[in-house]
Amino acid sequence: SQTIHQWPATLVQPVGSPLSLECTVEGTSNPNLYWYRQAAGRGLQLLFYSVGIGQISSEVPQNLSASRPQDRQFILSSKKLLLSDSGFYLCAWSVPSGGLYEQYFGPGTRLTVT
Amino acid sequence: QKEVEQNSGPLSVPEGAIASLNCTYSDRVSQSFFWYRQYSGKSPELIMSIYSNGDKEDGRFTAQLNKASQYVSLLIRDSQPSDSATYLCAVNKYLQGAQKLVFGQGTRLTINP
């Protein structure tokens, strides 16, 4: 069965510090991978998605970046955090199954920028 | 107009009753629709997916899809306090070579014992 891991689970970082969040998927090959952010009391905002190694598409301009160095690894980074980067960061994966692209989420990383 | 719209609630339902959650979408070419449950402080969990008009049942959950009216709903029968959560409706979209989901803002559901 497939599992998705994210770490760390929680993170408190000062403004201007760098960020690296990691996501790995097990039990599947060549998944589509996604990074979302959920601000407090808000909906899910798609930040980045990837259909393969080294292939990254950005949904919104921001000071975040993403990389996919391996098939089942997805990394979210920032060189300098802003207060507005606080939120719940979620990684998700999907593979086609009968024409459906169901997305499954990891446990998330709660980031507080102080 | 938002791509996916849900009533934010809160929706309050007595235990044992049927909870009805609704969602409308704007893109007529959308083919797949999903319901996620999100407990406070946790990540969303996929509970139902549907892509054909009509009803799809899974245990106490029934998803209903009406593509002509661009409407998808989720019914929860015999509601339990453990069903109290935010329910997110999502619609599949194919754009720039990738399948993406567009989420509604979510409906907060409270089941009262």
Q: Are A13 and A114 in contact (CB under 8 A)?
A: yes
Under an 8 A CB cutoff, do A108 and B42 touch?
A: yes
Average pLDDT, chain B: 94
| pLDDT band at B94; cut points 50, 70, 90 | confident
Q: How far is Cα B5 from Cα B71, in angstroms, rounded to an integer?
A: 10
Span A31-57, mean pLDDT?
Answer: 91
**Is the confidence at residue A97, as pLDDT, over 90?**
no
Burial label for A79, CB within 10 Å (0-12, 13-18, 19+), is exposed
Distances (CA, A) of A9 to A1, A5, A46: 22, 10, 19
Chain A segment 7-46 residues within 8 A of B by beta carbon are 32, 34, 42-44, 46
Could you tell me the pLDDT band of residue A36, with boundaries at 50, 70 and 90? very high
For residue B83 the two structure tokens come to: 């069903």
Of B32, B98, B104, the CB nearest to A51: B98
Give bridge partners of residue A24 from the DSSP assignment.
A5, A73
Closest CA to A6 of A77, A112, A106, A110: A106
The answer to whether B40 and B25 are in contact (CB under 8 A) is no
Judging contacts by C-beta atoms under 8 Å, the chain A residues touching residue B98 are: 32, 49, 51, 57
What's the whole-number mean pLDDT along residues A47-52?
94
Rounded Cα distance between B15 and B6, Å, is 22
Distance CA B19, CA B39 (A): 16
Asked if residue A60 has pLDDT above 90, the reply is no
Q: What is the per-residue pLDDT for B93?
A: 86
User: Is the model's pLDDT at B110 over the cut of 90?
Assistant: yes
